[in-house]
A = this chain, B = another copy of it.
Amino acid sequence: MRETESVSSRCRIALLGFGTVGSAIARRLTAPGAGASSNIQLTHVFDRRAAEKRASLQADGVSWTSSIDDVLHSSADIVVEALGGVEPAAGWIRAALLAGKSVVTANKQAVARHGPALLALAARQGRQLRFEAAVGGAMPIVRAIGDGLAGDRVTRLVAILNGTTNAVLSQMEATGCSLDAAVREARDRGYAEADPSADLDGDDARAKLAILCGLAFGLRVDPSQIAVRSSASIGAADFARARKRGATIRQIAFADYDHRASVLTAWVAPVEVEAASLFGRTTGPRNAALITGVHSGEIGIFGPGAGGDATAVALLGDITAIARDKAAIVPAPILTSQFTILDSVLLEAV
């Protein structure tokens, strides 16, 4: 590649927030030979406590700042928003798009509330706003619905979208323990925050479901419009009753859209599911989804739903997609020619 092309196609990243997700993505972007291609470079990190955190990242050429204006006026091509919460995150995403930057975010609350306006702004600006990491962790459900099924008419989504609640409920199922004991266990394993009420009550899942309703049905749904029933009152006796029917209990996010009548049925609640079903078999902090389309039938997807590493994979996928678009619209994968094929291994069982 010629030097001039190399310079013009380099993609500079500014990161907002150096918490669990932010530090994971910073490490991935600055690790030698890590997944992301080498034309992607972390150039700026914004954090309110930049002064004390900067020592924890071993990387040259990264400017730390605690002033958002430094990022907005920087040469960064992509702003990666890893702050969480609606504000100031949503306002800063808007400011970054107005400053001509593309934005990648893991922020389900900001996207659920302001996604349509922010996407319209991105389109007007000729920039991208991507948010694969906002729903489903490393499970690429935003792409599956927003792009893969863009040629279909989606009629129904049924999903486990909150990894914390799933870890708690499947622990209760496995051990017969109380919800409080399962929450403590999930905290010890790093699957739950100190206060998991937004997870158990369904606030987290309905923000994600609102985003998916926009992608799948083209509906502008406010999370507060989605009916919710908390999982916090589920007890060992509920699991015992379910077990007698060959079932178990999961927090399910459900949306069904009757396109003809323009009627959306949408809720998040703990419900009984067959133990042998996709959802019954989804244990620990995992996510799973069944998507029904008129033409494609039923498509399923599952994977790790939480954790800094899984979220970082989703953010990096979005960053890479924008960097590729910037470079040449579309990817010619960089192929390796030196490898050996072992063709004698034909296992009897996988």
Contacts and interface: CB of A to CB of B under 8 A. Distances in A.
A23 interface: no
A325 interface: yes
B149 A350 contact: no
A236 interface: no
Interface stretch (A50-58, A69-77, A172-180, A211-219): A211-219
B310 A342 contact: no
Contact of A337 (B220, B229, B257, B329): B220
B138 A296 contact: yes
Contact of A140 (B272, B299, B335): B299
B332 A120 contact: yes
B218 A333 contact: yes
Interface stretch (A13-21, A83-91, A182-190, A312-320): A312-320
Interface in A325-350: 325, 327-350
Interface stretch (A59-67, A191-199, A261-269): A261-269
A119 interface: yes
Q: How many copies does the complex hold?
A: 2
Given A138-B297, A299-B138, A215 B333 contact: yes
A95 interface: no
A262 to B, nearest CB: 4
A147 B151 contact: no
Interface string A108-145: 00000000100110111011111010000111100110
B119 A330 contact: yes
A132 to B, nearest CB: 7
A335 B132 contact: no
A137 B299 CA distance: 10
Given A227-B346, A295-B309, A296-B313, A116 B150 contact: no
Given A301-B300, A325-B325, A340 B295 contact: no
A41 to B, nearest CB: 15
A137 B151 CA distance: 13
12 contacts: A122-B330, A123-B329, A127-B329, A138-B149, A140-B149, A143-B143, A150-B320, A151-B315, A152-B313, A229-B346, A273-B349, A296-B309
Nearest to A133: B151
A300 to B, nearest CB: 5
B153 A35 contact: yes
Interface in A254-294: 254, 257, 261-267, 269, 271-274, 277, 279, 293-294
B254 A147 contact: no
A122 B279 CA distance: 41
A146 interface: yes
Given A331-B123, A346-B227, A300 B299 contact: no
